[in-house]
Amino acid sequence: MENKLCECGCGNFTKRSQLHKGMNRYITGHNCRGKGKGWSLNEGYKRVTYRGKNGGKYEHVLIMEEKIGRSITKDEVVHHINGNKLDNRIENLELMSRAEHLRLHYPEREINNLGQFLKKEKEDKQPSFSNN
C-alpha cells in the first residue's frame, strides 16, 4: 500500500492503521473540527486542535510523541534544530530536557538541572556621589 497524504492539508504522510486495516486519513490530531483547517499559530508555532484536548497541542509535540510512542513529560522540550518553528519534519525535531534547551538558547546564563535560571550575583555597586 502506498503512502497517503494527511487530509488536513499539512503535507505530511499518514501511517498504516492497525485498527482500520488500511491507511489513516489523518495524522493523529489532524482530523480537526475547529476553525478553518483546524490549526492556528501561537507564538509562531503551529497549534493543532482536535477532539478530546482543550486548546489542542503544538504540532511539533504531536509529531515527536508519535515518533517516541508516548507523551512528552513536563521536563522535556521538542526543539526545532533549524530554528524554523513551522518546519515540523521529524528530522528537524530534537527531544531534550528543559535544562538542555535553555543552555542551548542562553549559553551565557547559569541554569540548574531543573531548567531554571540561577540568579545573577549582584555586581559591587560603586557609591554614587551627587554634586551638591
Question: How many other CB atoms are there within 10 angstroms of residue 24's CB atom?
Answer: 19
Q: Give the 3-state secondary structure of residue 57.
A: strand
CA distances (Å), origin 14, targets 32, 75, 91, 102: 15, 28, 16, 32
CA terminus-to-terminus distance, the chain? 87
Query: What grid cell was written down for 107?
Result: 549559553
pTM, 2 dp? 0.58
In tens, the pLDDT along 7-59 reads 666 667 777 665 555 666 666 655 544 445 566 666 778 888 765 555 678 88
6's grid cell = 494527511
Is residue 86 in some structural domain? yes
Instruction: Give the mean pLDDT of the chain.
Output: 75
Q: How far apart are CA 46 and CA 50, in angstroms?
A: 13
CATH code of the domain containing 44: 3.90.75
Structure confidence at residue 94 (pLDDT): 97
Domain count, the chain: 1
Q: What is the pLDDT of residues 69-79, one digit of tens each?
A: 999 999 999 99
Residue 89 is placed in which grid cell? 519534519
Could you tell me if residue 123 is inside a domain? Answer: no
- Report yes or no on 54 lying in a domain: yes
Classify residue 110: in a domain, yes or no: no
Determine the Cα–Cα distance for residues 44 and 110; give it in Å rounded to an integer: 27
Domain of 82, in residue numbers: 16-105
